[in-house]
Copies of this chain bind each other. A is one copy, B any other.
């Protein structure tokens, strides 16, 4: 098992920020940016990966170009708060590819879902034929995303 936390110096933070912006930044490019030899960049990078700080590398796609024109946040309230209902609802989440992310919040046992759909009709079908018919869902409120003034900034390391 990895260590829970490791000491990060300024170079580590700069490296993490750079890799959050471009995972394909080459050792030489990073070397120039951070004033450190390419071999040390590789060594630090490996250390950060092994420590679990870097969980992986992903391609970022353009939803609009994929035809995913409707983006929404859906708040779901469960009728009862037993662990049974939660587990059942969590299973439902995993079966729906349109639901990209789901979070539970403090206070009430309700969920916030982030959803991508090709059109409004698909979103409405998801809400009415999937979420609202689930036995423990009591209320659903959805808000369509208009614009994204700030998107996917790097984590503040």
Contacts and interface: CB of A to CB of B under 8 A. Distances in A.
A99 B149 CA distance: 11
B103 A145 contact: yes
Size category of the A interface is: 35 or more
A79 interface: no
**Copies of this chain per assembly:** 2
A151 interface: yes
B54 A101 contact: no
A150 B54 CA distance: 19
B59 A16 contact: yes
Nearest to A105: B143
A55 B58 CA distance: 11
B58 A21 contact: yes
A90 interface: yes
Interface in A141-155: 143-153, 155
Closest 9 CB pairs of A and B: A19-B59, A97-B156, A23-B57, A102-B150, A105-B143, A106-B144, A104-B147, A90-B149, A93-B150
